[in-house]
Amino acid sequence: METVSHNHKHKEGRKDKSKKEEVDMSKLHLCKLISKVPLTKNVENPVALFRFQMPEGVTFGPTPIGQSITIFAQNNGMTLKRHYTPIVYEKDCFEVMVKLYGDGEFSPLVHAFKEGDEVYIKPPKKTKITIGHDEFSHVGMIAGGVGVAPMIPVLTYLLEHNTENLKLDLLFANKTTDDVIYKEMLDELSAKHKNLNVHYILSRAGDDWSGHRGRVDREYVSRYMPAPKEKAMVLICGSKQMKKDWVALLESMGYERNKNFFKF
């Protein structure tokens, strides 16, 4: 078995989660970057869409909704890895959106990838959640920033397979208008599908923003998310802290995990 030693390195001052583990290279696929397209206007923490070509004969299907792949990259002789959630799976290609954190260890490596570069990818595991198109009458989604990634394939799937009977609400939290990923596409989708409503909340918007402000709180949840009842589900995704806070909020409002809400 061909392996590489993988070390998760953390910068000074952060909790040391260092661990060495062997990576079984036979489980990885060498994928080629075929395009990189900007998705937001933010220059400090831009988000870009990376489209990768899989090797011939390899496919990730059937679509594992919301499950992440692992991207590997080398830095100073070390192999680093991080999870990313494909928003599009095609027969031989997939796309991930990656936000750049200038002081991060891994996202700068991804943003430095050039078209034609080849990187090792570990395919997604089995789907944790299935969302049948006649299973629910109302699906709510709470996403923070690039945490919208798993919501995109869910929305695409449900809008493609559903009748107008399923109500869909996305509560999408961002800092500023420049950070909102896919705003145009989401606005077009909600104009086309009357059962879809997208509610933007901005925490650091300028004076020109006339929409919702602040962070996701009890009031926004009760106004836009389905109440905890049968045939309703709330999906949440964001940073560890966002998910922790939203789980606590939902539980304090009577939602039960994996029954009324699901955390990606």
Q: Is 107 annotated as a binding residue?
A: yes
- 82: CB partners within 8 A, 6+ apart: 70, 71, 106, 107, 110
Residue 63's CB: how many other CB atoms inside 10 A? 17
Token pair listed for 248 = 């606590």
Rounded CA-CA distance 190/221 in Å is 19
Kindly write out the interface string for residues 37-76 of this chain, putting x where it contacts ligand NAP by CB under 6 A and - elsewhere: -------------------------------x--------
3-class SS at 184?
helix
- 79: CB partners within 8 A, 6+ apart: 4, 5, 6, 7, 23, 72, 73
Rg of the Cα atoms in the chain: 19
Name which of ligand FAD, ligand NAP, none residue 145 binds, using a CB cut-off of 5 to 8 Å depending on partner kind: ligand NAP
Of the candidate residues 65, 152, 186, 242, the single one contacting ligand NAP (CB under 6 A): 242
Kindly write out the interface string for residues 108-147 of this chain, putting x where it contacts ligand NAP by CB under 6 A and - elsewhere: ------------------------------------xxxx
Q: Is 35 annotated as a binding residue?
A: no
Residue 174's CB: how many other CB atoms inside 10 A? 23
Of the candidate residues 5, 16, 101, 222, the single one contacting ligand FAD (CB under 6 A): 101
Of the candidate residues 28, 119, 139, 149, the single one contacting ligand FAD (CB under 6 A): 149
Q: How many residues bind ligand FAD (CB under 6 A)?
A: 19
Nearer to ligand NAP, 144 or 226 (CB): 144
Residue 229's CB: how many other CB atoms inside 10 A? 11
Nearer to ligand FAD, 131 or 148 (CB): 148
Rounded CA-CA distance 39/47 in Å is 5
Nearer to ligand NAP, 158 or 202 (CB): 202
The answer to whether residue 245 forms part of the interface with ligand NAP (CB under 6 A) is yes
Of the candidate residues 28, 51, 54, 68, the single one contacting ligand FAD (CB under 6 A): 68
Element housing 5 (H / E) = strand 3-7
The answer to whether residue 40 forms part of the interface with ligand FAD (CB under 6 A) is no
Residues forming the site for ligand FAD (CB under 6 A): 14-15, 68, 82-85, 96-99, 101, 103-107, 146, 149
